Every structure is written in structure tokens, then in C-alpha cells.
Structure 1
Amino acid sequence: MKKILILLIFSISMISFSQEKKFKIVLDAGHGGKDPGAQKNGCIEKEIALDVILRIGKLLEKYPDFDIKYTRTTDVFIPLKDRAKIANDFEADLFVSVHCNSSVSATPYGSMTLVMGLSRSNMNFEIAKTENAVIFQEEDYKKTYQGFDPNNPQTQIGLKILQEESLLQSIDFASKVQSGFKNNLKRKDLGMHQQPLWVLDATVMPGVLIELGFLSNYAESRYMKSEEGKSNYSQIIAKSIIEYKDQIKETTTEIFPLDIKEPKIEEPVIVKPIVEVSKDSTATTITNDTVIKDTIVGPKYKVQISFSTKKLELLPENFNGLSNITVAEINGGYKYYYGEGSMENCKKLLAEAKLKGYKSAFIVESK
């Protein structure tokens, strides 16, 4: 009976200590320094990620039961192994990494949250390769990561989930974040996905990698870059962290009231249809889409997608859904071009054309 009483007192003491112990959170701003991350539409991933992380920390610092650790607070390069070491040495209860997504197409948009796991989704695998690719910028990466190759699917399959309980907690937190983005911010919900990411595999606590949205999508990039947008994201993530802490620690916290504001997003420039006529050829440009104004310094370029002896109406359905098509009549045939602008912009257009099936498309100088 005496032994049972001692054990009971010891158990109560341990529970009390656990409840009084501060909740340790590691806030990780993706990329940094020589690794800018995605760069689209005048936005740089490393800058947005850091801004949002610092805002999250500022909100959590108001609560005395949080102990916060940042992997970086300035624009510096932090290797993935060091990010994981910071979290493990800190003995964190939760690891939260913030990133921005990107695509070769301007169409995709929406937020998603990734947790450690295995997935057969090609889209998720491409994200995993992008986020893991920072490894190649580190010295002695082959030795450090012991053969981990983010471009090799066999490497991804070989990764393991360290603890089932940790994974379930990660999924639970990810669900809170996505629910907040969807219900409070009205952002498109791309859901929670399991994906092999080195930094999540190397950390021994529950952790997530949050993709706020696509910088390659003009409207979404404006939202992420705006002060209101960054504030909105940080509030939802901070609120989710507090709710998760309360759930794990069995505590009740009075959470700050949300102050969600709609950003004043700069509208893209609408380009009107252009007709160009030259001495030896005729060219007609039809533009039906809203596009981003391309500031051009130097020569202009365009993407030649095909040559035919048949003249086609410049309708999207005749060009696998592409609009902004130019046709030039030369020597009895017709050359069809997609878009026009700087070399940098045309590289993006070339990638889009190839995705639409024009595998032999190429860039030419616009005369």
C-alpha cells in the first residue's frame, strides 16, 4: 500500500511538472542567404518566409508558456542538417517550417501543409525535390547526408517514419493549419500531404512544412507579398500552434482575437490585342487573357510553337488551350508564336508551351 501511494504521488508530480514545463517551439524560415528559394512575380521566397516566421514568433512571445527558438532571424544560409540539429538539441515539442510554393505554370494556386511520410503523388514528389535540393548548396553534402539524393525516387522510398505517434500529431497540427487557411482566410485548400522531406525526417519531434501558396500565380503572389497577407498567414499559424499546445498539454489558453484583413492587391495590366504588319510578312496577335506586364530591357523574344502550311484561327482551342498567339505568314507557310517579352519571361512561356504538348517549341528573337 505504501509503495502504491509513493508511485501515485510520483505520477502526480510528473504530470504537474509536465503541465508547468514550457512548450518548446522551433520556427524555421525556409531557405535564406545564398539560397533564395522560389523567385516569381517580383517575390522572393526566403524573404516572405522569414517575415511570416518573425510575425508568428511575435504573437507567441506574448504567452509565457512558450519557449521559442528560431533557426534564423536574418537573411543567412542555414544547412538542413543544422536546422534539424537546432530543433533536436532544443528538445522541441513542435517544428514548424514556412515556405512558398512555385510551378512552371501560372495556373496552380492554394495552400498545403506537408508532414513526413511516403507519397506516390508526382506533384508532391516534385515539391519534395525542390525543398530538399538546398542540400546541393552545402559543402560535403554527400558525406553529411550519407547518400541522400533528393532527385532519386529510391532515396525517397527508403526514408522511414521515426515514430507513428509523432506522425499522427504532425497530421493533427497540419489539419488545424489548413482548416484555418480555408475557413478564416478563404484560401484554396490543397490539403495535408505526407511527403519525404529530409528536415522533417531528421527532426525527432512532430513537425510540418507549410507551403503558403504559389509565387508563380500572380494573384496569390500579391497576397503573400502584401502586409495584410503575411499578417493573416502568421495569425492562423500562431493560433494553430496555441491550439495544438493546449491539446497536448491539456491546458486552456485565451487566444488573441483574429484580425484578418483583405489585402489591397495591385491589379495586373490588361494587354489589348495587337496587330503587326511588315513588308514581307503579316503578323496578328490575339490576347484574351489578363497578363503581367513584362518590363523589357534590350531585345524582345517570343516562343515559336509550330509551323504549318495551314492557317488556323487564333483561338485557344486550336493551340491546346494557349492564348496570346501570334501568326506570321512567311513563304507560303505560317509560323505560330506564343507570347512575347524578355528572355527571362519567354523561358517561362517556353516551359508552359512544352507542358501543353509543344515539345519542339523554341525561343526566337522578335523582329
Structure 2
Amino acid sequence: MKNKALKRLICGLSALLVCFSLFSFKLAPIVRKDTVVNSGFKLKTIIIDPGHGGKPTGTGHFSHGASGSFSTERGVTLAIGLKLQKAIEKELNNVKAVLTRTTEEDVSWERRSEIANENKGNLFISLHCNSLSDRRVREVVGHRHGKPVYNTVSVPNRSGKGVLMLVYGLHRTKEEEKAIKQNQLEGGESEDAEMNAGFDPNDPESIILINQYKSKFRQGSIHLANLINTEFVETDGRPSEGIREQGVLVLCHSAMPAVLVETGYINNPDDEAYLNSEKGQDEIVSSIVRALKYYKDEVEQVLK
């Protein structure tokens, strides 16, 4: 282990964490000043992950996701993902957007994470549509000997409405540590190649470094989720269920800040119409791009 190189990287990660140290699941106000500070870090690559797909990939089953009355999650997320890719590369200078799938064909979550890490992504945004399970209710179907006879039936639950942001659950930190070791340190192309060459996972300073990465990615995930959620609510007027932790495999296996965006309830008629409309998709894309601009300025420490 090259101690000096390792210490420089640890110090650099610590400095980046200062950008997020005041943010939690509740968004703090964005303060803008007439000052420009260059941290040296540049947001270069954003991974866009349209959830689910339409064809089997060797598993023997389809994974088209949730369904509405006339559309599927696989189609909606792909349409939004393609528009988001174009908008990011148009609106964010020198930022590349990489899609985990560009057709209706399904891609396993393992491959999605691999694509993110192979492309040295700085952010991972997974697009999904929400849906509620059917309710089980008892209804009277007849009478016998003067007493009612009940039967249990499934009734569609279309009461869900609005957006939801998910970040990976802390119970999956071991999986995240493995991804960080493989993609940021052992096999990755860190900005400090000298440090990578001497990485020792058993060295105490290496453990500190991994924890710094975990903290950085955790804070970045929560902060980006807050920014996107705020844009949906305050600009688009969408209902929101806020931000939650969940054990989403594709998030914790991507060694970078990662957010899963539930864009709406596809089994709610109003939400389904919105998700499939040009207006709805354009608003969703614009809100995510605005949030990404704020995020980019902050991690690059550009205050205006």
C-alpha cells in the first residue's frame, strides 16, 4: 500500500463528504453564493436503468414488471429512459448518459450493475413504475340454512398515486463493500492509480478508505433522492411518498450513489395516463435533469 497516495485519496473523499454532511432524508435549503470553487471532481457518467424488460434472458420467465390497463412498466421506463439520456447529454455539459437497456429485452440485475461499473458511472438512476397488489375481501355469495355464505375474492387496489424514491437498505452494506473493492479499488480505474496498485483489503487504512466510499455513496444517494423528490413535488405538483430504504439489489451492487425512482402507480388510471403521455414523460425527465444540475454543481463545489 502506498500510504501517501492512500491518505491523499482518503482526504479527498472526506472533503467531498463535507458537501453532503448537512443533508439527511429531509432536504436542507440550497444556498447560492457568488463564488466558484473547483474541487477537481467532475461528474462524467450517469447510468440510466430502465427497469424490467419484455423477453426472457435465460431464466425461463418474463420480467415486464407492473402492468396497467393498457401499458406495462417495461415500456414506460424505456420511453422515459431514452428521453432522459438525450436530455442529460444536451443539458449537462461533458456528461455522458449510459442506458442499461435500449430495447424491450430484459437485462438481469447483475448485468445492469456490471454495465454501471464497467462504464465507471458516477451516478446510477433506476426508473420504475409502482403498483399495488390486489386486496383480498370477503363477500356474500349466497345463504345456507339461513346463514350467509362468504367467498374471498381479489379486488384491484388502484388507490396508489404519485412518486417514491428508494435508496439501498443498510442491511446490504456487505454487498456494497464488495462492489466498492472490485470496481473502485482492486479492478477499477480510480483517479489515484498509484493507490490502486497497492490496495490491500486487510490493511487498516484500506478499511478506512472503503468506509469513506460507503459514506460518500450513502450521502450522495440520499441527497440526490431528496433533490429529485423536491422537483417532482414543488415543480410538477406530484404527490410523493418520500424516500425509503429498501434492499434493492441493483442499487447496492453499483459502486456509486444510486437512486431508484418510482415514477408513478401504473395501475392507477390517472397515473397511468400521465406516465404514458408526452407531457408526463417530459415533466418527469425535466425534473430529474434539474435535480442532476443541482447535484452536479454541489459535488463539483460550484456555488453561484
- Give the alignment's TM-score, normalised by structure 1: 0.51
- State the partner residue of 2:258: 207
Of 226, 237, 247, 2:277 maps to 226
Which gives a bigger RCO, structure 1 or 2 (Cα 8 Å, sep 6+)?
Answer: 2
CA, structure 1 residues 224+206, in 2 after alignment: closer, same or farther (shift >3 Å)?
Answer: same
- State the partner residue of 1:81: 110
The 2-side partners of 1:221 and 1:89 are apart by: 34
- State the partner residue of 2:233: 182
1:245-274 deviations in Å (ceiling 9; x for gaps): 111112369xxxxxxxxxxxxxxxxxxxxx
The 1-side partners of 2:240 and 2:234 are apart by: 9
Q: Give the AA of the match of 1:58.
A: K
- State the partner residue of 2:152: none
Q: Give the AA of the match of 2:48.
A: L
Give the total of aligned pairs.
200
Residues 37 and 44 in structure 1, CA contact (< 8 A), matched pair in contact too:
yes
CA, structure 1 residues 108+61, in 2 after alignment: closer, same or farther (shift >3 Å)?
Answer: same
Pairwise CA distance, 1:43: 1.6
The 2-side partners of 1:204 and 1:163 are apart by: 9
Q: Give the AA of the match of 2:265.
A: F
Q: Give the AA of the match of 1:65.
A: N
What SS is found at the alignment partner of 1:114?
Answer: strand
Q: Give the AA of the match of 1:54.
A: L
What SS is found at the alignment partner of 2:65?
Answer: coil
The 2-side partners of 1:172 and 1:214 are apart by: 23
Of 23, 40, 46, 1:25 maps to 46
- State the partner residue of 1:107: 159
CA RMSD of aligned residues (A): 2.5
Pairwise CA distance, 1:22: 5.0
The 1-side partners of 2:216 and 2:289 are apart by: 22
Residues 48 and 224 in structure 1, CA contact (< 8 A), matched pair in contact too:
yes
Residues 22 and 66 in structure 1, CA contact (< 8 A), matched pair in contact too:
yes
Residues 23 and 245 in structure 1, CA contact (< 8 A), matched pair in contact too:
no
For residues 1-367 of structure 1, what are the structure 2 equivalents within 5 Å? Answer: 18-19=40-41, 21-34=42-55, 35-62=63-90, 63-104=92-133, 105-118=157-170, 163-251=214-302
The 2-side partners of 1:234 and 1:166 are apart by: 23
Residues 72 and 78 in structure 1, CA contact (< 8 A), matched pair in contact too:
yes
1:268-322 deviations in Å (ceiling 9; x for gaps): xxxxxxxxxxxxxxxxxxxxxxxxxxxxxxxxxxxxxxxxxxxxxxxxxxxxxxx
- State the partner residue of 1:3: none
- State the partner residue of 1:123: none
Q: Give the AA of the match of 2:131.
A: S
The 2-side partners of 1:175 and 1:17 are apart by: 22
What SS is found at the alignment partner of 2:40?
Answer: helix
Q: Give the AA of the match of 2:164.
A: M
Residues 88 and 204 in structure 1, CA contact (< 8 A), matched pair in contact too:
yes
5+ residue gaps in structure 1? 1-6, 120-161, 254-367
| Greater helix proportion | 2
CA, structure 1 residues 101+222, in 2 after alignment: closer, same or farther (shift >3 Å)?
Answer: same
Residues 228 and 291 in structure 2, CA contact (< 8 A), matched pair in contact too:
yes
Identity %: 30
The 1-side partners of 2:118 and 2:302 are apart by: 25
- Give the alignment's TM-score, normalised by structure 2: 0.61
